[in-house]
Amino acid sequence: GAVVSQHPSWVICKSGTSVKIECRSLDFQATTMFWYRQFPKQSLMLMATSNEGSKATYEQGVEKDKFLINHASLTLSTLTVTSAHPEDSSFYICSGRLAGGPGEQFFGPGTRLTVL
């Protein structure tokens, strides 16, 4: 299957700082990428959908000014958590979807963010 990488795999930061997470589709072009947040023992919660070259579409309740998403190319999307606070600590997962495909999404390995 198609491969998606995420970097970093884990990050610890101080409260008030910003953190950038990169998501790359390594062997396919992802016209659409998705960002999820996952709490322990729960399902994935969709944060936003981004299409290459367009502004991201955020789910209800997700602050777009806090979670900045950039999908600058067909292989790279970034999520920046601005002015991070301890409540932003979570597991963040990205995924990419092939254009014209059957809808399956290929997932990155996730990034564990801890805000002190």
Partner 1 sequence: AQTVTQSQPEMSVQEAETVTLSCTYDTSESDYYLFWYKQPPSRQMILVIRQEAYKQQNATENRFSVNFQKAAKSFSLKISDSQLGDAAMYFCALYSGNTPLVFGKGTRLSVIA
The DSSP annotation for 39-85 comes to -TTS-EEEEEEEETTSPPEEPTT--TTTEEEEEEETTEEEEEE-S--
Q: Does 51 bind partner 1 (CB under 8 A)?
A: no
Closer residue to partner 1, CB minimum distance, 44 or 74: 44
Q: Which span (13-21, 22-30, 72-80, 95-103) binds partner 1, by CB under 8 A? A: 95-103
Q: What separation, in Å, do the N-terminal and C-terminal C-alpha atoms of the chain show?
A: 37
Which residue in the set 46, 62, 68, 74 belongs to the binding site for partner 1 (CB under 8 A)? Answer: 46
Q: Is residue 107 within the footprint of partner 1 (CB under 8 A)? A: yes
Cis peptide upstream of residue 8 (ω within 30 degrees of 0)? yes
Report the interface residues with partner 1, using CB under 8 A.
1, 34, 38, 41-44, 46, 49, 91, 93, 95, 102-107, 109-110
